[in-house]
Structure formats: structure tokens, C-alpha cells
Amino acid sequence: MATVAERVAAVTARVLQLDPSEITPEKTFTVDLGAESVQSIELVASFEEEFGIEMDEDAALSVESVGDAVTFITQVCKEQGVEV
């Protein structure tokens, strides 16, 4: 089973139309990966669909880097009883 980091990278690569190798933990979604505002919303929706979770939009949209997204999603999965 793919790790949370691998799944986050795969979703990010698909939504932002990037090569998965470009998605590294220190990269920020907006500055480094070029996510526009609508794509940020698409990313949140796609992470929710990928992991079967509901994220608070304010908290989710305040996450800046890929690594922080992995940490945040892992925490939300734990809180919502989703095994990852």
C-alpha cells in the first residue's frame, strides 16, 4: 500500500499536472509548484476524495508545503478513524 506521502505526491502531480519527481516535502504548493487559487481548492477536494476524509477548509488551505500536507492529512485521518 502506498504511503501517505506517496499518495499526496500522486494527487498533487495529477491536479497540478506535474511530474511526480518534482513533488518533494519542502516544496510549497503556491510558490514552488505554481498552484493557483482554484487549484488549491481542487487539491483539497482531491485529497478528501483520495483519503475519504473531511478537512476544515480554513485549516487545509493554510497548509503551505507538501510535507506539511502529509502531516496534516495523517492527523486528520487519525482523528476521523481512517487507516493509512
Partner 1 sequence: MRLILLDQQTDKRYHFNPLALSRPIWELRYGITSLAEKLIAATGLTDVACFLPPYMAEVYKARTDWPVNDPKSLEGDDLLIVSARARAEFFSPDKGPGPSRVNFDDDGDCLMIRVAKEDLGKLKTDSIDSLIESAKAAFEPCNCEIPTWNYIWELVLENPDQLTKDFAALGRSGVEGTIEEPAGFRGSKNDIFVGKDALVHPMAVLDAEHGPIYLDEGVEVHPFTRIEGPCYVGKKSILLGTKCREGNSIGPMCRLGGEVEESIVQGYSNKYHDGFLGHAYVGEWVNLGALTTNSDLKNDYSSVSVMLDGRTPIDTNSTKVGSLIGDHSKTSIGTLFNTGAYVGAMTLIAATGKPLPKFIPSFAWFLEGVVTKGFGKGKLYETATTAMSRRGKEWTQADRDMWDEIFKLTAPVRKPAIAKGRRSLARH
Where along the sequence are the contacts to partner 1 (CB under 8 A)? 15, 37-38, 41-42, 44-46, 48-50, 56-58, 61
Single out the residue of 57, 1, 2, 34 nearest to residue 66, CA to CA: 34
Contact 10, 46 (CB under 8 A): no
CB of 46 to partner 1, least distance (A): 5
CB of 75 to partner 1, least distance (A): 19
Single out the residue of 49, 50, 47, 51 nearest to residue 60, CA to CA: 47
* Choice between 26 and 29, CB closer to partner 1: 29
CB of 60 to partner 1, least distance (A): 9
Give dist(CA 35, CA 31) in Å, integer.
7
